[in-house]
Amino acid sequence: MEFSGIQCWTAKTPILLGIFAVTLITASGAGAQAEKSAGHRAEQLEIRQLLDYAAAAVRAGQLIYPARGSAMSLYHEALVLDPDNPEARRGLERVVDHFLSEATAAIAVERYSKANGALSRARMVDPDNPNIEPIAAELRLLESAERSRTVLDWRLVAARSSELTPTLTRAGASARNEGCRAVISVSSDAEGRWIYEQLSRAPGERRIQAQIRIASPSAVEVLCFRE
């Protein structure tokens, strides 16, 4: 009977060992899951800190410099950890938009070198941003345009003097050419409309395209864009 008892205990041993093994595997799996969860929480915390630091860098005006600690670098670091993070992507878009606004404002006052610099910084942040190329194309067109600028006596402009008629008629004739347009610089919108009326009296059928700009000195500039 002792032999039988030993034989019976030995038969149960695999069952007990199996239960022990399952317990070990379960405990090991739970530990791995806990470790994974802890790692995920740590990564999310790091991403949150990077985004907060990036927002602070934006407020401080540190958009692309210094190389480490700028809004650009911090948003990119967040995207390395989470490539689809919407806050980081929006942050980079806002930085790009800032430089595109700078470029547009510079183009409006014909500061093309400054505009090129702003576009270069926008490309540094996100070279694939689709809003960069349209502004860059406009800038290239303006830089390559043929220009003819005539400064006007502001007193004659203010008086709506007929002495300006020959000058404005010549400018209007040039502006009527295909691919050309006029930029009118004056001290008021009313003066700009008056000058446009004088330009429009030039012979020809093509409607003159013109932009009125409040600026000094009073002038008419004709830009012609060639293919």
> Quick one: 24 and 132 in the same domain?
yes
Structure tokens at 214: 């409040």
CA distances, 153 to each of 53, 158, 161, 205 (Å): 54, 9, 10, 28
Domain assignment present for 52: yes
Q: What is the pLDDT of residue 67?
A: 87
Q: Is residue 2 included in any domain, yes or no?
A: no
* Rg for the chain, CA atoms, rounded: 35
**117 or 43: whose pLDDT is higher?**
117
3-state secondary structure of 73: helix
Q: Indicate whether 23 and 114 sit together in one domain.
A: yes
Number of domains into which the chain is organized: 2
Residue 106 in this model has a pLDDT that exceeds 80: yes
Say whether both 132 and 37 belong to one domain: yes
Do residues 107 and 45 both lie within one domain?
yes
**Is 115's pLDDT higher than 70?**
yes
Q: Are residues 157 and 83 in the same domain?
A: no
Is 71 found in the same domain as 45? yes
d(Cα 115, Cα 123) in Å, to the nearest integer?
12
DSSP-derived 3-state class of residue 213: strand
Same domain for 150 and 78, yes or no, is no
Q: pLDDT band at residue 1, thresholds of 50, 70 and 90?
A: very low
5: pLDDT strictly greater than 50: no
Judge whether 55 lies within some domain.
yes
